[in-house]
Amino acid sequence: MILKILLSILVLFIIPELLGLLICRFIKKEKNNIIFAFVIGYLLEFAIGQILAVPMILYEVSFSVLFNTYVIIISVLSIISFLINVIRIKEIIKNIIQGIKETPKLLALITLILVGIQVYAFIEYAHIDDDDAIYVGTSTTILETNTLYKYSANTGSENGEQLHLRYRLGPFPVYTAIISKMINIHPAIVAHLVFPCIFVPIVYMIYGLIGDELFKKDKKQIFQFLIILNFVFIWGNYSARTNFTFLLFRIWQGKAVLANIIIPTAWLLLLKVEDNKFKLANFLLLFILNLAGTFTTTMGIALVPITVMVISFVLEMSRFNFKNGILKTIKNLGICLLSCMPSIVYGITYFVKG
């Protein structure tokens, strides 16, 4: 039991943080931001999963090969990140302490309680969702057969519905299977218990970071913003199709991750572009975002690039300056479009081979 807890802390917290810090190390304003790094770390895990999983699924490689390759890659990247960032540990801790001192304690406590209530609901109650026949069933089938989308999770046949390209191009259940094997916990428990405890807080981390951009680091306004959002989400179950409902009842599914983590992160990353100047780091983050979006579900192939391009266009127009404005706007929109190439490539693949 103790070993599983330690392993879970390593896999679910330390490795994503290290992966995120590896990227943030090259972003001057974010190099000490552990919350932003944690979010980016998970996106990087999704992106690596997409790069590895899709070709291995299409060429019918075994799950064990995918798993071992994935573990080696994230382990090497985590070690590199540790070696690069260990000399800055004091600086990072100092930044954390400073952030805690500036935090309005009462508002922060209310926010934590509201987020905790949503996490507790997943722990105490079980939501039965028909889509788990695909999401959790596929993860379990992958582990039990050591194959990738070869057998139907519904019937066990080799020519089941999961051979359809729309399942294979957005293979988020593979990630559930990977995490399940890494921490030695059944996929159903990982999906219904472990992921909500991680993904629900991540959602509010993202909105907190968005609030940081909108309210110019005013901590009081940021936490007021988060409290309002918590109530909006908690009372947002007016339809089975809202992102609020997807967060409250099935955040472990790829489409829920797309709606509540990937798309809000698109807003975050584009709001972080300073003075309308796109840098290599901005392009890299958007590129990772697109890969992560396609990993969650094939709907990400369309929704992520559309979201990125629409938001970037609106922001460009709001910041437009006639002095060299047209060329800069074209350049920035071109960079955003280039960052969407993963989605474009997977989209073409879907229409050609689907």
pLDDT tens digit string along 169-205?
889 999 999 999 999 999 999 999 999 999 999 999 9
Rg of the chain on CA atoms, in Å:
20
How many whole angstroms separate alpha carbon 306 and alpha carbon 84? 35
Please answer whether residues 278 and 333 qualify as being in contact, where contact means their C-beta atoms are separated by less than 8 angstroms: no
Helix (H) or strand (E) holding 270: helix 263-271
User: Does residue 161 register a pLDDT over 60?
Assistant: no
Q: Which domain holds residue 42?
A: 2-353
Q: Encoding tokens for residue 342?
A: 């993963």
As given in the structure block, the two tokens for residue 314 are 């609106």
Mean of pLDDT values over 283-308: 93
- Average pLDDT for 71-96: 91
pLDDT at 83: 93
Under 8 Å CB-to-CB from 30, ≥6 apart: which residues? Answer: 24, 36, 37, 272
pLDDT bucket at 237, cuts 50 / 70 / 90: confident
Q: Name the more confident of 336 and 155.
A: 336
How far, in Å, CA of 272 to CA of 211, rounded?
A: 11
Q: Which residues contact 38 (CB under 8 A, 6 or more apart)?
A: 13, 16, 17, 20, 202, 205
pLDDT greater than 90 at residue 96 = no
Residue 351 — pLDDT band, cuts 50, 70, 90? confident
Structure tokens at 204: 């509010």
**What's the number of domains the chain is made of?**
1
Across 180-194, 212-226, 258-272, 308-322, least confident range: 308-322
What average pLDDT does the segment 3-11 reach?
Answer: 88
Residues sharing a CB contact under 8 Å with residue 157, sequence separation 6 or more, in sequence order: 151
As a whole number of angstroms, the distance between CA 189 and CA 341 comes to: 35
Contact 319/276 with Cβ under 8 angstroms? Answer: yes
